[in-house]
Amino acid sequence: MERKQSFFSTLKSEVIRGLSPIKSRSKSRPKQLTYGGEGLVGETLAPLHEGPDDNGLDLGESKRVGSGIGNWMKGQLLSRSPSSMMMSASVAYKHRSDLRLLLGVMGAPLAPVHVCSTDPLPHLSIKDTPIETSSAQYILQQYTAASGGQKLQNSIKNAYAMGKVKMVASEFETASRVVKNKHAARAADTGGFVLWQMNPDMWYVELAVGGSKVHAGCNGNIVWRHTPWLGAHTAKGPVRPLRRALQGLDPRTTASMFADAKCVGEKKINGEDCFILKLCADPQTLKARSEGPAEIIRHVLFGYFSQKTGLIVHMEDSHLTRIQTTGGDAVYWETTINSTMEDYRPVEGIMIAHSGHSVVTLFRFGEMAMSHTKTRMEEAWSIEEVAFNVPGLSMDCFIPPADLKSASFSETNDLPEDERVKSALAAAGHRAKVAALV
């Protein structure tokens, strides 16, 4: 109990003095993050680079509370060997490109639709209700109960989570050949993330991998994202939750997300029988997220809920975009993110997944079969710390950055385009960049 009180009291001062999101965006210079150890004693660390680095880093092995990101960031200038410094220009360029794609696609993807976590779940109704809908409502009630119960979840006003991540681009496929990353384990970029959430609908995430940093947030009215190659931009379409939070960290928002879903069947996931709930973004949301020559055609989310435990153990996110080039054929981009959540443990009575793994497939296709490409990426993560109702966290911590550009970004601005698509987007007033398909 004494240690818990020390954690919250010191975390409160850290939130106010330097750890809070608002502090990191209040100045233009690179942020010096502060993480603690036992009792969260402050430890100032070297600033992160704003662009993709040439080399990945290994996280420290310390199990000390709060030490994971600190040890990793401290070592970013000390862990480089002479051989890594002498990396060839072509290899270094490829690594930077891979890291940029990894950060863009897996950094801060959003859920398909807007939800409000404070809205109550629909009452279970069987009369005059399709079996697919009533079954989904029953499954969500079981999930809420298994996650800690609605009463306990409603008492959560804000939350904090910190974890480690490891990302790698593992395979690239064209119409004529498949190129696999033979040294995927060594080539993986490691890092960590910090996630803050507050009711209603406010969140902020910062992801630092391989010496580069991506951060994004929502103040309840707008969603914004900052990457080294784009700067800070607002997001197209309605406010939506962060997908990373749905991966076993926020059961209340997860239940709200699937409130209008339908039960479409059953499937075994890692030997475990699961119910499948399907959620589709409506046409109005898709239209609001489209921009210029890029049209969001569909965004579907599948949730796999264990029949044994009631918890969500797998999630599949499928997202299709159509880009019409000027005087040419349309190009399609399909992104599929399959995530498995594991190691559920109670944190203050709330069941939290403490580890997981995602496989991302980025598929480009069109009229010409020879231009088809497929990129496979992977991410593994583990949760080091979780806390609820953190003292000192306020709405000021979720204020968007001062240099937020009025021009919004769409999910298609950052697709890796060929030269023809780049020219078409440039003619329409857009820049083609590599980053997120959210």
Query: Phi/psi at 205 (nearest 5 deg)?
Result: -130, 140
* Average pLDDT over the chain, rounded to an integer: 76
Local confidence band at 436 (pLDDT 50, 70, 90 cut-offs): very low
Does residue 436 belong to any structural domain of this protein?
no
Tell me the pLDDT tens digit for each residue of 316-352: 999 999 988 777 788 999 999 999 999 999 999 999 9
Amino acid occupying residue 356: G
Asked which of 69-78, 139-148, 233-242, 277-286 is least confident by mean pLDDT, the reply is 69-78
What does the pLDDT read at residue 404? 80
Q: Looking at the domain assignment, is residue 70 inside a domain? A: yes
* Structural domains counted in the chain: 1
CB 203 within 8 A of CB 219: no
On the question of pLDDT at 261 being above 70, the answer is yes
Residue 133 covered by a domain = yes
**Residue 321 resides in a domain:** yes
Residue 409 near residue 236, CB atoms below 8 Å: yes
CATH number at residue 225: 2.50.20.10
> Quick one: tokens of 245?
């939070």
Residue 433 resides in a domain = no
Query: Is residue 402 situated within a structural domain?
Result: yes
Q: Measure CA of the first residue to CA of the last residue in the chain; give whole Å.
A: 40
How far, CA to CA in Å, does 363 sit from each of 48, 319, 334?
Answer: 31, 10, 5
| pLDDT, average across residues 393-413 | 75
Range of the domain at 394: 2-427
pTM (predicted TM-score): 0.76
pLDDT band at 32 (very low <50, low <70, confident <90, very high): very low
Asked whether the beta carbons of 281 and 290 are under 8 A apart, the reply is: no
Q: How many Å apart are CA 213 and CA 239, to the nearest integer?
A: 22
**Rounded Cα–Cα distance for residues 371 and 256 (Å):** 40
**SS3 assignment, position 249:** coil
Instruction: Choose from 34-48, 95-109, 157-171, 362-376 the range with maximum mean pLDDT.
Output: 157-171
Q: Is the pLDDT of residue 89 over 80?
A: no
The SS3 call for residue 120 is coil
> Distance of alpha carbon 336 from its chain centroid, rounded?
13
CA distance 436 to 102: 8
Q: What is the mean pLDDT of residues 243-253?
A: 95
Residue 98, classed as helix, strand or coil, is helix
Reading the block at residue 137, the tokens are 């409502």
Question: What's residue 435's pLDDT?
Answer: 36
Q: Does the residue 308 lie in any domain?
A: yes
Is 127 a member of any domain? Answer: yes
Q: Each residue of 391-400: pLDDT tens digit?
A: 999 999 999 9
Q: Is 287 helix (H, G, I), strand (E, B) or coil?
A: helix
Q: Is the pLDDT of residue 48 over 60?
A: no
The C-alpha atoms of residue 334 and residue 316 are separated, in whole angstroms, by 13
Residue 125's pLDDT is 63
CB 321 within 8 A of CB 311: no
